Amino acid sequence: MTSASPVWHPFTQHAVHGEIPTIVRTDGAWLEAADGRKIFDAISSWWVITHGHRYAPITEAIRTETERLDQVIFAGFTHPPAEELAQRLIGITPPELTHLFFSDSGSTSVEVALKMALGYWLHSGEDRRHILALEGAYHGDTIGGMSVGARGVFNAPYEPLLFDVGRLAFPHPGREQATLDALEKACRERPVAALIVEPLILGAGGMLIYQPAVLAEMATICARHGVLLIADEVMTGWGRTGTLFACEQARIVPDIACYSKGLTGGVLPLAVTLCRQAIFDAHYAEDRRKTFFHSSSYTANPIACAAALANLRVWQSEPVKERIAALAGVHTKALERFRDDRRFLNVRQLGTIAALDLVVQDAGYLADIGPRLYRHFLARGMLVRPLGNTIYLMPPYCSTAAEINAVYEAIAAVDLDC
Plot region of 406 (φ>0 → left; ψ -120 to 50 → alpha; else → beta):
alpha
Backbone angles phi, psi at 416, to 5 degrees: -70, -15
Of the candidates 218, 176, 201, 196, the one whose C-alpha atom is nearest the C-alpha of residue 133 is: 196
State what percent of residues in the chain have pLDDT above 90: 95
> Most distant CA pair in the chain: distance in Å?
66
Residues facing 119 on adjacent strands: none
Of the candidates 262, 236, 278, 137, the one whose C-alpha atom is nearest the C-alpha of residue 196 is: 137
Q: What angle do CA 143, 230, 132 make, to 5 degrees?
A: 65
Q: Helix H segments across 172-225?
A: 176-189, 212-224
CB 202 within 8 A of CB 392: no
Distance between CA atoms of residues 286 and 284, nearest Å: 7
Residue-wise pLDDT for 133-168, tens only, equals 999 999 999 999 999 999 988 899 999 999 999 999
Q: What angle do CA 160, 10, 51 make, to 5 degrees?
A: 125
Distance between CA atoms of residues 327 and 400, nearest Å: 8
Delimit the CATH 3.90.1150.10 region(s) of the chain. Answer: 14-54+320-412
CB 291 within 8 A of CB 303: no
SS3 category, 201: strand
Task: For residue 224, give every residue at least 6 positions away whose Cβ sits within 8 Å of its Cβ, in sequence order, or none.
Answer: 187
CATH 3.40.50.300 fits 14-54+320-412, yes or no: no
Q: For the purposes of burial, counting CB atoms within 10 Å of the CB of 72, is it exposed (0-12), middle (13-18) or buried (19 or more)? A: middle
Residues facing 41 on adjacent strands: 383
Element containing residue 23 per DSSP (H, E): strand 23-27
Task: For residue 204, give every residue at least 6 positions away whose Cβ sits within 8 Å of its Cβ, in sequence order, or none.
Answer: 138, 154, 365, 387
Task: Tell me the CATH class for 60-317.
Answer: alpha beta
pLDDT tens, per residue, the chain with 418 residues:
456 899 999 999 999 988 899 999 999 999 999 999 999 999 999 999 999 999 999 999 999 999 999 999 999 999 999 999 999 999 999 999 999 999 999 999 999 999 999 999 999 999 999 999 999 999 999 999 999 999 988 899 999 999 999 999 999 999 999 999 999 999 999 999 999 999 999 999 999 999 999 999 999 999 999 999 999 999 999 999 999 999 999 999 999 999 999 999 999 999 999 999 999 999 999 999 999 999 999 999 999 999 999 999 999 999 999 999 999 999 999 999 999 999 999 999 999 999 999 999 998 888 999 999 999 999 999 999 999 999 999 999 999 999 999 999 999 999 877 7
Delimit the CATH 3.40.640.10 region(s) of the chain. Answer: 60-317
CB 266 within 8 A of CB 49: yes
Distance between CA atoms of residues 347 and 354, nearest Å: 8
Asked whether the CA dihedral 256, 322, 205, 12 is positive or negative, the reply is: negative
pTM score: 0.96
Distances (CA, A) of 398 to 27, 50, 141, 321, 384: 10, 8, 30, 12, 17
Q: What share of the chain is helix, strand, coil (3-state, %, to 5)?
A: 40, 15, 45
Residues facing 349 on adjacent strands: 354
SS3 category, 77: coil
Distance between CA atoms of residues 324 and 239, nearest Å: 7
pLDDT of residue 345: 96
pLDDT of residue 416: 75
Distance between CA atoms of residues 162 and 334, nearest Å: 42
Distance between CA atoms of residues 383 and 44, nearest Å: 9
pLDDT of residue 1: 45
Asked whether the CA dihedral 302, 308, 312, 314 is positive or negative, the reply is: positive
Task: For residue 274, give every residue at least 6 positions away whose Cβ sits within 8 Å of its Cβ, in sequence order, or none.
Answer: 89, 90, 93, 97, 99, 100, 101, 256, 257, 259
